Structure 1
């Protein structure tokens, strides 16, 4: 298990009450999406900030899932397949992780950030639930996904 680093300070005070600290998976990138979310007031830590560069490229998904769940953080990502991979699925279930993923893989960074920000009230409400869960973040809604079902063929 890795050592937790302190999250970057956010003095804007616009982070929604009830929304835990946000962890940004490598699938959303290191710069554009995190910057746009921070500009909107979110307190967050990227995978690269938490584990360091270049170590971030070698961190297994199961490791950051466990670490972020232990810290009480929620995860933003765009890797929809994570709910079908047995090891990652087990990590989400075992560690009661709370995850949100962008459903469109082809969106530019600004559109991904906007999708998350547009759904922030629903995401914040979902975070009142204990994990484990994975929500799909669509353009105008979020949907809770079944993380215990087999992968569709």
Structure 2
């Protein structure tokens, strides 16, 4: 388990909530590519600014009502495309993962 995963697990056990803008900056600072399930992260001012200023590379499962099995299917199906994005596109970006495609989402930041 990576150090930050361990720290996040400890915070959860202690009941600490880590604001999205904080974990975005921390994980990006560690060189991670981010995966989340809330496409609004590209629109909310604090999260969008954290993505922008930390040059985060964020992939978002866009369907709110998707099952875990379907998420695995979408990620598996798009793995090669996701790897290409990671290798070719510098952050900041938010890329939506849809059933049939990947699509860059508008980042509402400076």
* TM-score normalized with structure 1 length: 0.63
Unpaired runs of at least 5, structure 2 = none
Q: Which residue of 2 aligns with 1:100?
A: 59
Match of 2:101 among 124, 127, 141: 141
Aligned length: 105
- Give the superposition deviation at 1:50: 4.5
What are the residue-to-residue correspondences of 1:2-151 with 2, within 5 Å?
5=3, 49-52=6-9, 53-55=12-14, 58-128=17-87, 129-148=89-108
Task: Give the alignment's Cα RMSD to 1 decimal.
Answer: 1.9
- Once the two structures are TM-superposed, the CA of residue 54 in structure 1 deviates from its matched residue by 2.5
Counterpart contact for 2:56–2:91, Cα < 8 Å: yes
* Structure 1, unaligned runs of 5 or more: 7-44
Alpha-carbon distance in structure 2 between the residues aligned to 1:135 and 1:55:
32
More helix by proportion, 1 or 2?
2
Q: After TM superposition, give the deviation of residue 148 of structure 1 in Å.
A: 2.9
Question: Higher relative contact order by CA 8 Å / sep ≥ 6: 1 or 2?
Answer: 2
Deviating 4+ runs (over 3 angstroms): none
| Structure 1 residues 122 and 146: CA distance shift in structure 2, 3 A | same
Q: Measure the CA separation in 1 of the matches of 2:16 and 2:42.
A: 20
TM (normalized to structure 2)?
0.86
